[in-house]
Structure 1
Amino acid sequence: MADDSNMSNEQEPNQASHKDDTPSSIYLISYPKIVFLYPTLIVSIVAAIFMSIAGESAHIGGNREHMAEVMALIFLVVFGLNITVLAFDFPRTTSLTLFFLGVAIFMGIWMLLRFNPDIVPALTNFLKSLRPWANSQMYWMFSGILGLIFVGVGISVRFDYWEVKGNELLHHHGFLSDLERFSAPNLKIDKEISDIFEYILLRSGRLVLHPRNEPRAIVLDNVPFISKKEKQITRMLGALQVQVRPESH
């Protein structure tokens, strides 16, 4: 009898901690793809601050290379990579292969032109002639425009989101807080990560919900921290299934 009581005492704290780990409500928000441009926004703000402090005529060390050109190149590279992430999907296997292949090709061409500038003089002269330039006002304006879009996205998602709570799946939408209710028990969940770079940027992916007695699935794209959300929902539904299980006599 003593052993049974000890075992029950050990199980109760474990069950209590397990319940504490499960939140009472889990919010699911589907974001537009523009949120993946936050690295470009960060670089633009940093460039705007630097150019405002250092000035457009700042040089690098003793060289006569304008800092504005270097900042412009950094901005364009980050912006180009961000646009590529938005434009294409990179599955896990092919994306890594393409990434390392692109890096190898770029490094090979750069080293070839670095140590043999006369091998392709036209290309070398073309690269040397590339001297992009932008002042602080351009970076501030770009940051302001993109920042306002981010604020608009943050406001809009507050009027369209999903909530897993108790035995229900709730859809909040509209300016008047319209509400749709779905049954949460026996809810089937599918998690899809089709783009590794989007997952790296925001740990995001696609979440497909299959409520009971509903003919169509609910597809939520670009859900941040999708693995954490999926584990929380699975844990909550598992707890609900235990609670609604009939008592055995």
Structure 2
Amino acid sequence: MSEIKKPKHPSEIYIRSYPKIIFFWPLLITSFILWIIEALSTDPEISGVLGMVWFIVFFVNIFITAFDFSSTKFFVLILAIVIILLLVVFLVPGLFANLGGLRIDLTLTWQFYVVMTLILAFILGIVIISTRFEYYKVERNE
């Protein structure tokens, strides 16, 4: 009996184009996880920390989609500096003590996380479905 062998290389390749909104999948996952944590949490202190985490992920997503970077090193350097600054501002409580008691309160409710999860899941789902119908097919020329 002879077995049919699969070709070593594919005979066709599908190329799909995704819009920049596809980069928001980390925010979708973060919103979903923070929704569960916030819904199950009984500690009111954790809401502010979760809000800070959400805003940091949101900032990183907006930063990535806003600029087209030609050099990965430049992008990583700028992003690392900004993340470190955000972490210092949000996680060092006495940093703004000398500014007249300025306090950053980024408390978000579980309802906010649910709404953001649903909005992002809806939009990303439509994007994924629409790319199933819009693609380029590259075939071998023998």
Return the TM-score normalized by structure 1.
0.47
Query: For the structure 1 residues 103 and 44, does the alpha-carbon distance in structure 2 shift closer, same or farther, using more than 3 Å as the test?
Result: closer
- 1:151 maps to 125
Question: CA shift at 1:39, angstroms?
Answer: 0.6
Larger strand proportion, structure 1 or 2? 1
1:37-116 equivalence runs, <5 A: 37-55=24-42, 58-59=43-44, 66-92=45-71, 93-102=73-82, 106=85, 110=88
Query: Where do 1:155-170 residues align within 5 Å?
Result: 155-167=129-141
- In structure 1, the partner of 2:99 is 122
- C-alpha distance in 2 between matches for 1:130 and 1:84: 21
In structure 2, distance between residues paired with 1:99 and 1:142? 24
Q: Following the alignment from structure 2 to structure 1, what is the Cα–Cα distance between the partners of residues 64 and 51? A: 20
Structure having the higher Rg: 1
Equivalents in 2 of 1:50, 1:101: separation in Å? 28
Task: Compute the displacement of 1:132 (Å).
Answer: 1.3
Q: Which segments of structure 1 move beyond 3 Å, counting only runs of 4 or more?
A: 99-104
> Can you list the C-alpha shifts for 1:96-131, whole angstroms capped at 9, x where unaligned?
443455467x39x949xx6x969x7118x32xx111
Uncovered stretches (5+) of structure 1, i.e. residues with no partner: 1-15, 60-65, 168-239, 241-249
CA offset digits 1:61-119 (Å, max 9, x no partner): xxxxx111111100001001100100112222432443455467x39x949xx6x969x
> Is 1:139–2:136 an aligned residue pair?
no
Moved more, 46-55 or 78-87: 46-55
Aligned length, in residue pairs:
134
- Tell me the CA shift for residue 133 of structure 1: 1.3
Task: Flag the 1:87–1:117 CA change in 2: closer, same or farther, 3 A.
Answer: closer
Please give the alpha-carbon distance, in whole angstroms, between the structure 2 residues aligned to 1:49 and 1:121: 36
2:107 counterpart letter in structure 1:
W
Higher relative CO (Cα under 8 Å, sequence separation at least 6) belongs to 2
Percent of aligned positions that are identical: 28
Mark the CA change 1:121 to 1:31 in structure 2 (over 3 Å): closer, same or farther. same
- Report the 3-state secondary structure (helix = DSSP H, G, I; strand = E; otherwise coil) of the residue aligned with 1:122: coil
